[in-house]
Amino acid sequence: MIRARFQGPQRRIGLTGGIATGKSTVGQLLAGRFGLPVLDADLYARGALAPGSPGALAVLDRYGAPVAARADGSIDRAALGRIIFADPLERRWLEQLVHPLVRQRFEAELQRLAPEPVVVLMIPLLFETGLESLCSEVWLVTCRTEAQLQRLLRRDGLAEQEARARIAAQWPLDRKQALADRLINNDGDGEALEQQLAAALALNP
């Protein structure tokens, strides 16, 4: 089901994709090459688990020493990832803790950036969390499945089984494609990617 999009005067581009398809690369291009403000859900999620925050305290209370990185209350994100990607119930618990905090941050930043004609919302779990309602359009970054796996293995140093489990924890790309307004293919080189972004920005939203 395609949820209603934001209908205000601001062009809000929801940028999403699967894990390791290249969302961050696209976000960096949109910010650096095209000068657009980019709001990053991953950054806000990390903030929701900052040392001493209510979110971090809740995680430490639930999981204890295995996820405690240092005495300052930091969360060992790698250890936390191993827990939540191995157990759907634990992943759901963490999402219910973090996602409302991320949405609050988005709403505050969108209010601050209201004068901007175009804003990019980079949200890996955009469809899973229903945050496409904040966006006037949604761009999906795609690539070949094997390329996605290899990028994830290189980036995070995971065992193949663990990498496949992390890919499987998200909606498959073909399910997201049916809901997206534009597809950004990231199988080519940087120049091809930049050309796609320029063309997408030139289209009427």
Note the pTM of the prediction, 2 decimals. Answer: 0.91
Task: Kindly report the CATH number that applies to the domain delimited by 11-37+113-202.
Answer: 3.40.50.300
**Sequence-ordered alpha helix ranges (H) in the chain:** 23-32, 41-48, 54-63, 77-86, 88-112, 126-129, 145-156, 160-168, 173-177, 190-202
User: pLDDT per residue over 45-102, tens digit each?
Assistant: 999 999 999 999 999 999 999 999 878 889 999 999 999 988 999 999 999 999 999 9
Contact 170/17 with Cβ under 8 angstroms?
no
User: pLDDT per residue over 10-37, tens digit each?
Assistant: 999 999 999 999 999 999 999 999 999 9
Contact 18/176 with Cβ under 8 angstroms?
yes
Both tokens of 74, joined, read: 């930091």
Name the residue ranges covered by the structural domains of the chain: 11-37+113-202, 45-98
Q: How far apart are CA 123 and CA 104, in angstroms?
A: 14
